Amino acid sequence: MTPAQFARAAEHLLAAHERRERFAPLPAELAPRTPEEGYAIQDAFVALRAQQRGAIVGYKIALASPQMRRFAGVEQPQAGAILESTVRRSPARLRLADYVRLIVEFEIAVEMAADLPVADAPFTRERVAQAVASVAAALEIADDRGADYATLPQHPFELIADNTWNEGVVLGEAVKDWAGIDLAAVRGVARVNGRPIGEGRGADAMGHPLASVAWVADHLAAHGRGLLRGDFVITGSLVTSFAPQRGDRIRFSAQRLGEVELEIE
């Protein structure tokens, strides 16, 4: 594919979002055939959205578990960018009508106190720990636009191109004194209208939340970019994705990391 095709694919995606169309494969001449083509389209798509939504302030990791990667027909996790105006603080409210099909994921967010520059890659979990400012409970806001999940393995890099469906995040209160917490063992419980719907532990995504951050930092370095001071990473869902309905009150509590709340209008 050429830069012109990447740009056309990004414009196609933006138009599909604006028309609230169901998620569908890109036209054959614009469809990514490799992860790198997917990320080139993603970069162009995110740049278009950033004109209205602000700069990149964080990143996400998708398909963080082996089971989800097998389900989607890919071998590696996938990264996406989070834009400034889509970041909300708990407690938050969202309008269901603003999304084609809203989905919520239950995560641990990690904020950086120092840069992880390109020159220092590859990164270990221990190196990442030296650069962490705070950790928090988080909810990823995503829109799968009514995707037919059964067809994802036939188009494994379309999710990358569409910025891994990210539409923002709700962040809980930052825990700065996190160093004594075993993040892999942190137990997270998701509740909807007071009813538990699932639980998991920090190790359920990439083995450890900081392993997810290291993966994202390595991914960025491979594309000539650093993970910078003030950036944050949401590190993969500990609980199965949830599609809320109007009136739902969603709460995710993470042991020693507090909780995060979202109301759906």
Q: Which of 177, 180, 91 is nearest to 134 (CA)?
A: 177
pLDDT of residue 150: 86
Angle (nearest 5°) at CA 154 between 152 and 159:
40
Q: What is the pLDDT of residues 33-43, one digit of tens each?
A: 999 999 999 99
What domains does the chain contain, in order, with CATH numbers?
Answer: 3-264 (3.90.850.10)
Q: Which of 249, 250, 219, 246 is nearest to 237 (CA)?
A: 250
> Cα–Cα distance between 167 and 103 in angstroms, integer?
10
Specify the pTM: 0.94
> Cα–Cα distance between 74 and 68 in angstroms, integer?
9
Q: Measured between alpha carbons, how far apart are the two ends of the chain, in Å?
A: 42
CA 99 to chain centre: 16
pLDDT of residue 70: 76
Low-confidence residues of the chain, pLDDT below 70?
67
